[in-house]
Amino acid sequence: MNTTPPVPSPDAAPTVGELEAQERRLVLTRFTHDDAWALGSLLVDLARERGAPVAIDITRGGQQLFHAALPGSTPDNDAWLTRKRRVVERYAASSLLVGTRFRAKGTTFEDSSRLDPDRYAAHGGAFPLTVEGAGVIGVAAVSGLPQLADHALVVEALERFTTS
């Protein structure tokens, strides 16, 4: 039986509460260099299975521990990875959750955050790597699909990673 959650359609955006619940659920006991390789490799495998033209990035403490650019991805995807990662680092929440919180208040991240949109993007695809007792220590990010699918891919990989 497949227990993998479905990738949401663009019309099925998760709520603030659903996104916050994901972050509470996906807390790690540790995150080493080897863990970054394992998580990154899992993301690559999932993306290849789907023919997803994505770039994948995992950082911890400002150091890039994993990067992959799959066929069909472009340098623009790397720029999106950086912009989404900065949102997670600043807000200690997924880039999708940050954008959703602004929309729930009747505004947008771009209109209300007062941050340079060339440096920050509150679009789905970057997720905090949170370690018990240490808080947010890094970011796992994907770029190349619609934002909800980018987010769902990272969440699916983290769910598999945390249960393995």
Count of domains observed in the chain = 1
Which of 8-12, 16-20, 31-35, 149-153 is least confident? 8-12
How high is the mean pLDDT of the chain?
93
Which CATH number does the domain housing residue 59 bear?
Answer: 3.30.450.150
Q: Which two tokens stand for residue 109?
A: 């991240």
Mapping DSSP onto H, E and C, the string for the chain reads CCCCCCCCCCCCCCCHHHHHHHHHHCEECCCCHHHHHHHHHHHHHHHHHHCCCCEEEEEECCEEEEEEECCCCCHHHHHHHHHHHHHHHHHCCCHHHHHHHHHHCCCCHHHHCCCCCCCCCCCCCEEEEEECCCEEEEEEEEECCCHHHHHHHHHHHHHHHHHC
- Is there a domain that residue 17 lies in? no
- Is there a domain that residue 1 lies in? no
Identify the pLDDT of residue 9: 46
Identify the pLDDT of residue 76: 97
Identify the pLDDT of residue 11: 54
- Is there a domain that residue 14 lies in? no
pLDDT band with cut points at 50, 70 and 90 for residue 160: very high
Q: Which two tokens stand for residue 55?
A: 């770039």
Q: Are 87 and 113 in contact (CB under 8 A)?
A: no
- Is there a domain that residue 38 lies in? yes
Domain that holds residue 98: 24-163
